[in-house]
């Protein structure tokens, strides 16, 4: 795992999230967003170097807009919006809510200033706290606020990956956070296989806790027996693929991936630079020599799949992954894995099998609705369903994911060529 | 179904394909390709109006190249290639076989002439027949030739859809084949539901007959109970969606689909034209008023999904479709469905449930490898595996598919925005 | 000069054009267009490999459309158009005449067939001859027909350059016309300078003969003294530029040209191929070794300018060129140059100074209106004026230009990056 | 003229520039750049909404880089660069000086911060002042510094137009500078014609003062008699064109311009918005109703030419403009026009004929070298020559041009479709 980003959320490590009430959670989540921005200069908040990367400023405002637009204006008496233009400026893609700035143009908006956006956050936070402290909220509103907080946690992760992109594509390679030591998976990089037998497995969210609509509709799948590595593929192993000419051998690549590869200026994971014959990678603590023992990250699904082809193995499906996680991190979901995840990677116990909180793991499952999936009405219904095409599912959560935002049933998804997220590889094979 | 294309393959209807030997099949399949081209003028053979559509001339040569390159040059003694340039000119995407003309440039090649390409076909056919008539072929070579013939049948279908595109995008709307009467599904358009109960189902090819590698590895899936229409969605039903503003309501569309819709000049299936307030569609027998009772066709998966969303239903997965086809066309696979398919749509028996040979049906399954899928070595291994990303599976076969090229386990696949194939819609819902 | 194309118009060499009447000229010009197509196969007529290159079939029809649309339908009693769709299909860019097929889509139209287009030509020719043989035509109509014939001669040149592009971008490099011997400028490639003194010069067309509107408005310019080569730059000289790294040295190129150069796959004139270390170029008689003594051709203005920069010289302005041509080919315009131009390059007299009929010469003059330029009303007014931006003037005529279409005052024009015309270089410097 | 920008340079109005020494001029020019940025927020310095618009931060650094790279590192003893990365970061297009950040990527660089760039400016300024105060500089170095200061003045103008673009494309339409009253040309908008008789005129810079290389090589041109408006076309007159359907009538537009027009979302000059049926335009003091009496500005050459076509008149050539300016502002060049230009538009005397400092005037002259033009060696030689293709000349200077940067012989140039500069229209006709 990218060690420099392990520290990101350390201030919140004492929070367990279990018995926390909604006010406390609201305050905690909102605060973390701002803390993540502390190392930034004003200039870093503004730009959008590629369409997938939003300006940090935009994340700050958009997550706030969610509470203003979907909670306060709808449910708080006599609420007056902070600025009537913000609805237009900071809507992301919710067609039901009205017009919006087109996504590729987010990086042209120098105003409102960062200061004004922090004032917007404060204004909305104050009203939200007033609202939360008022008469008892009904369940639908509580769920909406939970959604807003989970939405903000998603954007916290994007904030980290986006600012990494912004800083990591600057020729000066600025440091976001200094970090001394690197996390290694294991000194010797040995691994064993985790096994799952054939049979019917239950998939999807269970219980009353928050989850996204795309995890709902618990249902059965039949799995054939398989085994999977108990750790992620390392930089060292990936370098083996590169040194064997992996980026130059069409046999390992999808046809679309082969076009993609041929347009890559640097035939390596994102943020890798070959400096005088030695591979370096940009991390949130700056440019450094690639550590062969760390999990490879910032690879596209194309690269993950090509690596697997080269190894004669395969990626997991998302259902296999979930069955695996259910079996091998079962205990962890209650207490175990949470505490020794992103905040203390150095203290991670061997039992975690590293299925959670290392990197997002590309699966070979397309992002499709579960059998009992149904879309909510209105803006909330746009949250997930409209993306269920041409994207691949990732599982597990990364070092940039908030610890209480990780779930065994969580379905992340990106287009297969993208790699600015902390994405990695786990190999499997049939038994 | 598009009636005008029903007649395409009628000359071959008496062939059953079961007891046919390889020589006879070779001759039959090769001949059909040329018969499909009979209505064409020389000019029609040459152009490539969009990248997905190859010039008919290219199909004629490429299918021939397959036999020359992968059979004759490898296995026939002292075979001399017809023209050493053809390997370069008529390879499609097989990287293992060497350089090739880039796909978007196929339409610039006015030479070799159509006449020369027919001479190439004759030359290769003569050598193939000599080869097939010689000493007994081992099984691997027989399978390769079977693959070549199935490959040619696939290109026969593309030939039909590509020439439809070429003629159908000409402002003169030329007729390919005159056809008097239209096939209708049913006079009253009523339908019933076909049902499948929950449980474990077997998926994939069984038996010794030819199939593609992507159908192999018979395996189990768990299905929840569902029901599906026993016929396809009609033009009339689809017009209902259009009249309800379906193309202008973001709620029914994937985010990517919504961009696609907004760039469509005509908000309707491909080949539809609104002429003085009345919808017409181009068919292989020319432009005519849309028949409300025929199955809607030339819709993208985006349109199929939007229609389903609007109806509050859903598409089938490819596994559901296969279970359905296994249950409801079971007897047909042996004898029944074949005879009353594309050649005699007017004589179709009620028992066929129209699951085969009407239109390709978009499923909501991404094109991914089956659990036991393994890629062959060399050029043959490039046949399917390299496409297993960003495409959706279609099932069932269309009126342009050769009857003995249709199988219950056949997995066709295209990108979800494409619609120049004969593609249609069947709706399902959970039980 | 490209020798293979020298023969193109040989059948017409005996025609002097001076005393010819309009009927005879009409027949002669129309016939040449068809003769130029004789070596083509049907397939060659159809395609449009890049937007600038129109299908030969289109040229045949468009030149005919001119007479139908602008002459027969307007002035011939009870004329009925050959096909009402052709107005839409074969209009080029005349907005005043109605809708039209977009230029990039000309190459998708497989119908009408070549045969039908020849029938269209015959139909229009017959009506035109009837019309021309009828009552005496007034002057405006005669001028319109003259314009139509000059228009057709322009398209004859485009027909040659377009079919060269089509054949020359085919990997088989088909021969258009066999030609045995090559024309060379001079055995030793020596040259002398032609000089012009400072002073006021008259520019623009004089007399009652046909010319385009852009040549009208004879006016004065002041020229400073200069001298120019009495022949064109040769392939050998251009190879010197290439061998000196000319394509890799930014100093010689405009900023826009430098981008263009860096995207060139082959750093050489169009149609040049480096085969095993030796430069070849495609000519209308096939691929052959580059002849160092022939004029370099198929260079863009970017390349012409870069070559001049490298030599420390410059291109002529169009005004300098015209003054030069007036002085040095004065006598030739009456009789001299015509006979020993494209038809008998081997017999060219030394006195011609090769200013006419070798290659179009890029000037460093932008294509702008002359001081007294005024645009005609209607479609004819669209002939020239709408192109007077972002294009550069070429002077002199090429081996593909009809001999009676060459004038000292003729202003050809293309965008500076284009080079599928027969374009060459003449250098000048100040005195 | 856009009144809001008239005040931009007011602090410097007392400066005459005539007797000023190099140190004073250096300090003055460098200071103005920073004063122009005073109304900006940090966020405004960073972004690049389109490729033609550079981030203000970049202008601040690039103009400084000029002095560091071309003066200090070359001529100042033991000079150490401020930061070795800046050469790479802030080079614009000078190939001779080494690699550089590609122009479209300037807007991704959040670091160095604005503060660091001001420190860079201070560092270089201190060293420059030390250098200027040292031993007597030879003439070549003085000219280089003059070039650097003129370069900075050019970038001051770009800074103004670029920040106008950044703020003017923000949906909040932020105010850059408050300004109360608007400048109008004349209450009644009458105009008279300025006339020039036919004859030979001298063109190009004269004297020892600084000018760019593209103005050098004084030479003669012949002009035919013409007359031109003594003021610029107004918004009111341009509205007449719009109301007459000018943007929808192909007759007025070049073919390339017609494509451009059809892609314009708003058929009006840049920064114009139709709000509830009333035309507004964004100015540096915010959005306001269009003033019919002010000169129209932010029009492309395409629009200027279309307007002239519609009026049945024409644009001037750059030579006609220079002859006009020589005749009618002759006295002004010494003292007159300077004082009543951008700084006191309200006090402008009628005698200035508004040829200087209102808007850049599109001419119908392509940007080409003068007859005696020769390019300097090295980086300085890249200043102008490499742009002499596909651009049109503008004359006169705008309200955003520094007063001592305006010259009668000054040749500005842009591509004809661009309009983010303060560009306007003056009409002429032949006599």
The rounded distance, in Å, linking the Cα atoms of B373 and A429 is 11
Mutant choice from A203, A251, A310, A374 vs B, greatest count of B C-beta within 10 A: A251
Helix/strand/coil percent split, chain B, to 5: 40, 15, 45
Longest dimension (CA), chain B: 66
Contact list in D for residue A170 (CB cut-off 8 A) is 108-111
Report residue C123's pLDDT band, with 50, 70 and 90 as the boundaries.
very high
Confidence of residue A98 (pLDDT cuts 50, 70, 90): confident
Residues 6+ apart with CB under 8 A from B365: A366, A368, B317, B318, B319, B392, B393
Residues 6+ apart with CB under 8 A from A331: A351
Residue whose C-alpha is closest to residue C405's, from C69, C76, C155, C78: C155
C residues 200..219 contacting D (CB < 8 A): 200, 219
**Confidence band for C343, pLDDT divided at 50, 70 and 90:** very low
Residues 47-86 of B with CB under 8 A from C: 47, 49, 57, 85
Nearest to D47 among A46, A169, A171 (CB): A46
Give the neighbours of chain C: at least 3 Cβ pairs within 8 Å. Answer: B, D
In order, the DSSP letters of C297-341 are -S--HHHHHHHHHHHT-BPPPHHHHHHHHHHHSTGGGTTHHHHTS
Mean pLDDT of A264-293: 96
B124/D71 Cα distance (integer angstroms): 73
**Is the CB of residue D199 less than 8 Å from the CB of residue D319?**
no
Is the preceding omega at residue A112 within 30 degrees of 0, hence cis? yes
Interface-testing mutation among B224, B251, B256, with chain A (most A C-beta atoms within 10 A): B251
Burial of A234 (0-12, 13-18, 19+ CB in 10 A): buried
Q: What stretch of H or E contains C28?
A: helix C22-36
pLDDT bin (cut points 50, 70, 90) of residue D128 is very high
Sheet of strand A286-289: strand arrangement = A272-275, A278-283, A286-289
Chain D: touching chains (3 or more CB pairs < 8 Å): A, C
How far is C401 from C342, CA to CA, in rounded Å? 8
* Residue-wise burial string across D223-239, b where 16 or more C-beta atoms lie within 10 A, e elsewhere: bbebbbbbbbbbbebbb
Helix (H) or strand (E) holding D193: strand D193-196
* Intra-chain end-to-end CA distance of chain A, in Å: 29
- Provide mean pLDDT across the span A282-286: 95
Interface of D with C in 92-111 (CB under 8 A): 93, 95-96
Q: What is the token pair recorded at C321?
A: 């060129």
Chain B partners of A380 at a C-beta cutoff of 8 Å? Answer: none
Chain D residue with Cα closest to C316 = D371
| B182/B4 Cα distance (integer angstroms) | 8
pLDDT band, residue C353 (cuts 50/70/90)? low
Positive/negative CA dihedral, C252, C257, C262, C263: negative
Q: Does C167 touch chain B (CB under 8 A)?
A: yes
Separate counts of helices (H) and strands (E) for chain C: 12, 12
Chain A, nearest residue to D50 by Cα: A108
Q: Which of B63, B293, B30 is nearest to B181 (CA)?
A: B293
C112 preceded by a cis bond (ω within 30 of 0): yes
Inter-CA distances, B166 with B51, B416, C89, D236, Å: 12, 21, 15, 51
Instruction: Give the rounded distance of the alpha carbon of C234 from its chain centre.
Output: 19
User: Between B114-133 and B22-36, two packed helices, what is the crossing angle to 10 degrees?
Assistant: 170
Give how far Cα A249 sits from Cα of B144, B213, D231, Å.
Answer: 25, 22, 67
Q: What is the pLDDT of residue C388?
A: 96
Shortest alpha-carbon distance between residue A66 and chain B (Å): 19
Q: Which residue has the tokens 């702008």?
A: C368
| Gap between the Cα atoms of D217 and D207, Å rounded | 11
Q: Do residue C44 and residue B171 have CB atoms under 8 angstroms apart?
A: no
Query: Which three-class secondary structure state does DSSP give residue B92?
Result: coil
Query: In chain C, which residue's Cα lies nearest the Cα of B48?
Result: C108
Q: Which of residues 7-46 of D touch A (CB under 8 A)?
A: 41-46
- Residue in C39, C40, C42, C43 to test binding to B, most B beta-carbons within 10 Å: C43
Helices A114-133 and A22-36: crossing angle in degrees, nearest 10, is 170
- CB count in 10 Å sphere of residue B290: 21
Binning pLDDT at 50, 70 and 90, where does residue D135 land? confident
Q: Cβ B93–A255 below 8 Å, yes or no?
A: yes
Task: Read off the pLDDT of residues A378-388 as tens digits, 9 standing for 90 and up.
Answer: 777 778 889 99
Nearest residue, CB atoms, A49 vs list D88, D108, D166 = D108
Asked whether C414 and C390 are in contact (CB, 8 A), the reply is: no
ipTM: 0.91
Task: Using pLDDT thresholds of 50, 70 and 90, give the confidence band for residue C330.
Answer: low
**What pLDDT, on the 0 to 100 scale, is given for residue B374?**
87
* B210 and B147 Cβ atoms separated by less than 8 Å: yes
Q: Which residue blocks in D46-113 are alpha helix, DSSP H?
A: 56-67, 73-75, 86-90
Q: Which residues on chain B are in Cβ contact (under 8 Å) with A255? A: 93, 386-387
Tell me how far apart the 2 most distant CA atoms of chain A are, in Å.
Answer: 66
What's the half-sphere exposure (Cβ side, CA atoms, 13 Å) at A19? Answer: 1
The nearest CA of chain A is from the CA of B236 a distance in Å of 26
Which chains border B (3 or more CB–CB pairs < 8 Å)? A, C
Count of pairs with CB atoms under 8 A, one residue in A, one in B: 80
Q: How many angstroms away from the CA of C91 is the closest CA of chain B?
A: 14
| Residue-averaged pLDDT of chain D | 88
Residue A118 in contact with partner chain D when CB distance is under 8 A: no
Could you tell me the pTM of the whole model? 0.92
The answer to whether D177 touches D8, Cβ cutoff 8 Å, is yes
Q: Decide if B43 and C110 are in contact by the 8 Å CB cutoff.
A: yes
CB atoms within 10 A of CB A422: 24
Interface contact A321, partner D, CB < 8 A? no
Task: Going from the first residue of chain B to its last (431 residues), give the mean pLDDT of each consecutive group of 10, the final group possibly shorter.
Answer: 36 42 96 96 96 95 96 96 93 76 84 98 98 91 95 96 96 87 60 96 94 94 97 97 97 96 97 96 95 96 98 98 90 36 33 75 98 85 89 96 92 98 97 95
User: Which single residue is written with the structure tokens 């010319």?
Assistant: C211
D109:A174 CB<8 A: no
Interchain pair D372, C224: CB under 8 A: yes
Confidence of residue D182 (pLDDT cuts 50, 70, 90): low
Residues paired with residue D283 on neighbouring β-strands, in sequence order: D286
User: b/e per residue, B104-121, with b = 16+ CB within 10 A?
Assistant: eebbbbbbbbbebbbebb
Q: CA-CA distance, B305 to D121, in Å (whole number)? A: 59
CA-to-CA separations, A100 to A62, A95, A105, B260, C333, in angstroms, rounded: 11, 8, 10, 18, 67
Q: What is the CA radius of gyration of chain A?
A: 21
Mean of the pLDDT values across residues C199-214? 94
% of chain C at pLDDT higher than 70? 88
H, E, C per residue of C154-167: HHHHHHHHHHHHHH
> Does D15 have pLDDT greater than 60?
no
The A residues from 228 to 287 touching B (CB cutoff 8 Å) are 250-251, 253-258
Residue C198 burial (CB count, 10 A): 14
Tell me if A293 sits within 8 A of A234, measured CB to CB.
yes
Please count the residues of chain C: 431
pLDDT of residue B120: 98
Quick one: pLDDT at residue A337?
35
Share of chain B above pLDDT 70, in %: 88
Q: Is C403 helix (H, G, I), strand (E, B) or coil?
A: helix
C-beta atoms of D166 and A108 within 8 A: yes
- Is the model's pLDDT at C9 over the cut of 60? no
CA angle C374, C224, C201 (to 5 degrees): 40
Q: Do C364 and D365 touch (CB under 8 A)?
A: no
Contact C268, C241 (CB under 8 A): no
Parallel, antiparallel, or unpaired: how do β-strands C423-424 and C360-366 relate?
parallel
Give the pLDDT score at C14: 36
Q: Give the integer Cα–Cα distance in Å for D228 and C256.
A: 34
Q: pLDDT at residue C96 above 90?
A: no
> What would the pLDDT profile of C273-282 be if each residue is shown by its tens digit?
999 999 999 9
Which conformational region is residue D397 in: left (phi greater than 0), alpha (psi within -120 to 50 degrees), or beta?
left
Structure tokens at C184: 């060379």
- In angstroms, what separates the C-alpha of D70 from chain C's closest C-alpha? 18
Q: How far is B113 from chain C (nearest CA, A)?
A: 7
Touching status, chains A and C (3+ beta-carbon pairs under 8 Å): no
Of A151-165, B71-85, D7-21, D347-361, which gets the smallest average pLDDT? D7-21
Nearest CA in chain B to C101: B171
d(CA B5, CA B176) in angstroms, rounded, equals 9
């Amino acid at each position: 795992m990218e060690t420099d980003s392990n520290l990101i959320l350390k201030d919140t490590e004492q929070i367990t999230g279990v018995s926390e009430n909604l006010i406390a959670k609201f305050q905690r989540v909102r605060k973390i967003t701002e803390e993540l921005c502390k190392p930034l200069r004003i200039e870093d908040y503004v730009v959008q170097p590629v369409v997938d990367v939003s300006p940090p400023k935009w994340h700050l405002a958009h997550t706030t807009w969610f509470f203003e637009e979907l909670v306060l204006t709808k449910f708080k008496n006599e609420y007056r919006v902070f600025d009537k233009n913000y609805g237009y400026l900071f809507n992301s893609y919710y067609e039901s809510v009205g017009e919006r700035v087109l996504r590729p143009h987010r990086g042209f908006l120098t105003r409102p200033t960062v200061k004004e956006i922090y004032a917007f956050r404060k204004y909305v936070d104050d009203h939200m706290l007033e609202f939360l402290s008022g008469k008892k909220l009904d369940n639908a509103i509580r769920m909406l606020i939970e959604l807003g907080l989970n939405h903000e946690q998603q954007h916290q992760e994007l904030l980290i990956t986006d600012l990494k992109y912004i800083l990591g594509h600057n020729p000066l390679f600025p440091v976001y956070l200094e970090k001394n030591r690197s996390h290694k998976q294991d000194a010797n990089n040995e691994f064993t296989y985790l096994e799952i037998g054939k049979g019917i497995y239950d998939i999807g969210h269970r219980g009353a806790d928050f989850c996204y609509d795309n995890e709902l509709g618990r249902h059965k799948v039949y799995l054939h027996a398989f085994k999977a590595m108990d750790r992620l593929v390392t930089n060292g192993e990936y370098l083996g693929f590169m040194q064997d000419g992996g980026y130059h051998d069409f046999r390992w690549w999808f046809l679309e991936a082969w076009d993609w590869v041929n347009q890559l200026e640097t035939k390596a994971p994102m943020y890798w630079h070959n400096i005088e014959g030695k591979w370096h990678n940009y991390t949130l603590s700056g440019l450094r020599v690639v550590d062969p023992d760390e999990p490879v990250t910032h690879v596209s699904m194309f690269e993950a799949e090509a690596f697997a082809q080269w190894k004669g193995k395969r990626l997991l499906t998302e259902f296999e992954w979930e069955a695996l996680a259910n079996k091998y991190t079962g205990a962890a979901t209650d207490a175990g894995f949470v505490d020794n995840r992103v905040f203390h990677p150095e203290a991670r116990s061997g039992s975690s099998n590293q299925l959670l909180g290392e990197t997002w793991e590309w699966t070979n499952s397309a992002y499709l609705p579960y059998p009992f999936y149904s879309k909510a009405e209105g803006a909330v219904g746009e949250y997930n369903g409209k993306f269920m095409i041409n994207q691949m599912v990732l599982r597990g959560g990364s070092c940039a994911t908030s610890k209480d935002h990780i779930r065994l049933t969580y379905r992340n998804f990106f287009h297969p060529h993208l790699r600015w997220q902390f994405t990695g590889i786990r190999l499997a094979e049939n038994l």
